[in-house]
Chains A and B, each alone.
Chain A
Amino acid sequence: MGFSVDCHLSRLMLAFRRSDLTAEDAASLDAHLGGCAACSAAARREIAVDSRIASAMTAVPVPTGFRERLVRSAEGVQRVAWRRRVAARAGWAALAAAVLVGFAGYAWWTKPTLDSYAAGNEFDRQIEYANADVPAWLKDRGLPEQLPFDFDFRMPTFTGTGQLHGRDVPVIMLVNGPHVARVFIARESAFHIQPDKLIDAQTSRCKATIARQGGFVYVVLYTSDTLDVFLKPPGQKA
């Protein structure tokens, strides 16, 4: 059985008109609006204002290439998740096998199959542009155009996406003769920041230095003795 809706009640019900009213209540509201010019005008005005705000609210441009970056990232997550699931299911059997044959058996079960074509495809996805306009590339990605190091982008330069601690982040790669430098760029908020883990480091084949600027972290890995070989000569302007 329906009920009578007056002007006061109709103004209250208008707030629920979209999807929270039952069919019966919606019919009662519509019946009132059909016969009341003032409430009908108020409803039209309310709907129009909401529509304008909704249009503005959803008017957010999606960055170019974002879908492709998401798909690559998702595929990486799927590969890890699949290996974990397989390892979990076979865990007990693998543990027994490991007892019988040792850790070599477990490592064999979880290691990926080496595939030159797949490796080439992975590198293709990571290297998007060669000798790119780096400032424009940074701007397009919504990143600060000013880097904490004055790199010389006249040398062969590549931009793309790379993995930093399992996360896909923008990366710039510079090549100077036999030496390579990679600059990973990420927002500080994506990582736990512990100052004692940000000091310069040296491994068997490369050096690492990390800079923080404007809410971003810049992780630079390079194979030369100093980072200077990738920087502009002193006194050279942009």
Chain B
Amino acid sequence: MSSLSVRELIDSHYQPLFRYAYRLSGSSADAEDLTQETFGKAIQRLAQLRQAERVKPWLFRILRNEYLRRVRDDRRHRLTPLEQLGEIPQPAADPPADIDPATLQAVLNELDETFRTPLILYYFEDFSYRDIAEQMDLPIGTVMSRLARAKAHLRAKLSPPADASANGRHPPDGF
């Protein structure tokens, strides 16, 4: 592939790839490394890409595999499988209009990667359940289950707690 095409590849995808890498790793420096490594591998494997329109999920898959390779033996972070979280309290309200990005990242960081990845990919707009299932080599039903639990966990963590309604606030009209 010509230099121009490689530049087009980078220009088209480096920003979403970096953002994905950042949400996966929680670190800007790690995200840079991951993104650089992803493009390096992609350039070497371009001949393997059969369908040009699938380049975005292909790049995302390379990046995720590189991330998993790096953290395989890294247990610096205590990750919480959702099964151990128990009952998630129902929030009284939806997440606020302005969600704090640092709070969002903190919630993502505490999740195991098997729940974090489908959550991130879901909110990177273009990824359907089918796309996520392909990314993770999982049955679509498993993706649905993990995403449902991860979304509920995320919304509960980002929303005010249920007992906020007891602090002198009036209940919504109609209740």
A residues with CB within 8 A of B = 15-16, 18-20, 45, 48-50, 52-60, 62-63, 66-67, 69-71, 73-75, 77-78, 81, 141-143, 167-168, 187, 189-190
Known contacts A77-B40, A142-B29; A67 and B11 CB within 8 A of each other: yes
Min distance, Cβ A75 to any Cβ of chain B, angstroms = 7
Known contacts A20-B128, A54-B125; A66 and B33 CB within 8 A of each other: no
Residue of A nearest to B121 (CB): A57
Q: Are B32 and A63 within 8 A (Cβ)?
A: yes
Chain B window 13-40, contacts with chain A (Cβ cutoff 8 Å), 1 for yes, 0 for no: 0111011001100011110110110011
In-complex Cβ contact of A16 among B43, B74, B95, B129 (8 A): B129
Known contacts A15-B144, A190-B33; A58 and B19 CB within 8 A of each other: yes
- For A50, the chain B residues whose CB sits under 8 A away are 123
Known contacts A19-B128, A67-B11; A49 and B94 CB within 8 A of each other: yes
Q: Are A49 and B40 within 8 A (Cβ)?
A: no
Chain B residues with a Cβ closer than 8 Å to the other chain, count:
46
Min distance, Cβ A64 to any Cβ of chain B, angstroms = 11
Known contacts A67-B11, A142-B28; A59 and B101 CB within 8 A of each other: yes
Q: Are A58 and B32 within 8 A (Cβ)?
A: no
- For A74, the chain B residues whose CB sits under 8 A away are 6-7, 10, 39-40, 43
Chain B window 115-150, contacts with chain A (Cβ cutoff 8 Å), 1 for yes, 0 for no: 000001001110011100000000000001000100
B residues with CB within 8 A of A = 3, 6-7, 10-11, 14-16, 18-19, 22-23, 27-30, 32-33, 35-36, 39-40, 43-44, 70, 74, 94-97, 99-101, 104, 120, 123-125, 128-130, 144, 148, 154-155, 158
A-B contact pairs, 11 of them (CB 8 A): A18-B128, A50-B123, A62-B14, A70-B36, A71-B7, A73-B39, A75-B3, A78-B6, A81-B43, A189-B74, A190-B33
Q: Are B28 and A63 within 8 A (Cβ)?
A: yes
Q: Are B104 and A20 within 8 A (Cβ)?
A: no
Min distance, Cβ A14 to any Cβ of chain B, angstroms = 12
Residue of A nearest to B147 (CB): A15
Known contacts A67-B10, A143-B29; A78 and B43 CB within 8 A of each other: yes
Residue of A nearest to B128 (CB): A19
Q: Are A66 and B14 within 8 A (Cβ)?
A: yes
Min distance, Cβ A81 to any Cβ of chain B, angstroms = 5
Residue of A nearest to B76 (CB): A215
- For B100, the chain A residues whose CB sits under 8 A away are 56
- For A71, the chain B residues whose CB sits under 8 A away are 7, 10
Q: Are A57 and B124 within 8 A (Cβ)?
A: yes
Residue of A nearest to B99 (CB): A56
Q: Are B158 and A53 within 8 A (Cβ)?
A: yes
Residue of B nearest to A46 (CB): B94
Q: Are B33 and A15 within 8 A (Cβ)?
A: no
Q: Are A60 and B22 within 8 A (Cβ)?
A: yes
4 other A-B residue contacts (CB within 8 Å) besides A189-B70, A190-B33? A49-B155, A53-B158, A56-B99, A66-B32
- For A16, the chain B residues whose CB sits under 8 A away are 129
Q: Are A73 and B129 within 8 A (Cβ)?
A: no
- For B101, the chain A residues whose CB sits under 8 A away are 56, 59-60
Q: Are B123 and A15 within 8 A (Cβ)?
A: no
